[in-house]
Amino acid sequence: MKDANRSVTMPRIVVVYCRNAVSSAAELLEGPYTVKGLNAFFAALPCSSKIEPSYLLKILADGADGVLVVACPEGHCRFMVGNVRAEKRVNYVRSLLDKAKMGAERLTLERGENLTEKDLLSLAQRRVEPLKILGPNPMKGDGK
Amino acid sequence: MIIAEWKPLPELVEILKGHTNVLVVGCATCVAECAAGGEREVETLAPLLQMALKQEGRTINVRTSTLERQCEWEFVEELAKVAPQVDAIVSLACGIGIQAVAERFPELAVYPGVNTTALAIRQEPGTWLARCAACGDCVLGETFGFCPVARCAKSLSNGPCGGTRKNGKCEIDENIDCVWYQIYERAKARGKVEQLLKVRKPKNWSNSGHGGPKRVVREDLRP
């Protein structure tokens, strides 16, 4: 939930992305990536449908300020409907986050193909300001 | 299978007031099949509860476990090691499993994490439909394999009410088939519509819940 009294200088963003959405010429981003204005952790998946609601919620329960799922465009999934399933799961988890008063905006889905490292970083970068407005994840206080 | 649905999150947050170490227990059988209380749902609810409680300024430790079956004592016993380390259990099993856990660990607060709703079948992924009411007096042999007790909104025994829609749907829900329409269609396909003219007498409801708590004893199986 938005809390004006809190300040976030650098939201921690976890980016889980379909490796098939990334250009074959691009290098897969893996692990932490901290540069000026961005504190992100990247994890490549064989398909965006590999995300499970429990994984997304655990990432947030562990203190990440936001999660970004990057999937292939609709109709371009190598496994037919994996990216459609991913979107349904993201929407389901967003509804759960609202019920928990955490704010659905902490979880978003973007689509893309032939993405480069720069594109992935840019997608993550675009989440920084919205997450700053949202405020820090309250779960951070538990030594996370 | 027995189907269930998560209780509303605010209700779970409320019942966990005063608890700091909670065990969320799932069941890998029916409630896993209906995506309400299997391992996936346990691992989903646990972090969700932590976050919802944190929003109210409450921090709890949540452990998780999923038993093969919560309605079998041998499997419930697996919780004996972790039970002394928690002050409450939230069970995502059906009402049978919840009661088994509560009976095995009477010293602990055991809460239902789900509402058990029906005996149902998965019609397609994500859709479950009631099929049996455990009425204790099965008539499926007379109704061409369709249960009018569970599948008719009024549990009518001798044909449809006047509310069947023209497309064969139930008047109370356009997504639900009128079971008596289905019974008639199947009887017609088998050339046995005349069998439906037989008037069925009132059912013997005493063989299920109406006769008091059900107890079945098989002497040949007892110790």
**What is the rounded average pLDDT for all residues in chain B?**
96
Length of chain B: 223
pLDDT, one tens digit per residue, over B2-21 is: 999 999 999 999 999 999 99
Chain A: residue nearest B61 by CA? A142
- Report whether B73 contacts B55 (CB < 8 A): no
- Closest by alpha carbon to A37, among A9, A4, A60? A9
Q: What ipTM does the predicted assembly reach? A: 0.90
pLDDT band at residue A6 using 50, 70 and 90 as cut-offs: very low
pLDDT band at residue A4 using 50, 70 and 90 as cut-offs: very low
Pairwise CA distance, residues B37 & B35, whole Å: 6
In the predicted structure, residue B190 carries a pLDDT above the cut 60: yes
What is the predicted pLDDT for the residue at A142?
A: 57
Q: Which residue has the higher pLDDT, B131 or A25?
A: B131
Indicate the domain borders of chain B: 2-117, 135-203
What's the CATH code, domain A12-134? 3.40.50
Residue A143 touches chain B, beta carbons under 8 Å:
no
Residue A95 touches chain B, beta carbons under 8 Å:
no
Strand pairing partners for A79? none
Nearest Cα of chain B lies from the Cα of A79 at a distance, in angstroms, of: 18
Residue B59 touches chain A, beta carbons under 8 Å:
yes
In the predicted structure, residue B191 carries a pLDDT above the cut 70: yes
CATH code matching the domain that covers B2-117, chosen among 3.30.70.2190, 3.40.50.2300, 3.90.550.10, 1.10.1200.10: 3.40.50.2300
Indicate the domain borders of chain A: 12-134
In the predicted structure, residue A139 carries a pLDDT above the cut 90: yes
Pairwise CA distance, residues B82 & B37, whole Å: 19
pLDDT, one tens digit per residue, over B43-70 is: 999 999 999 999 999 999 999 999 999 9
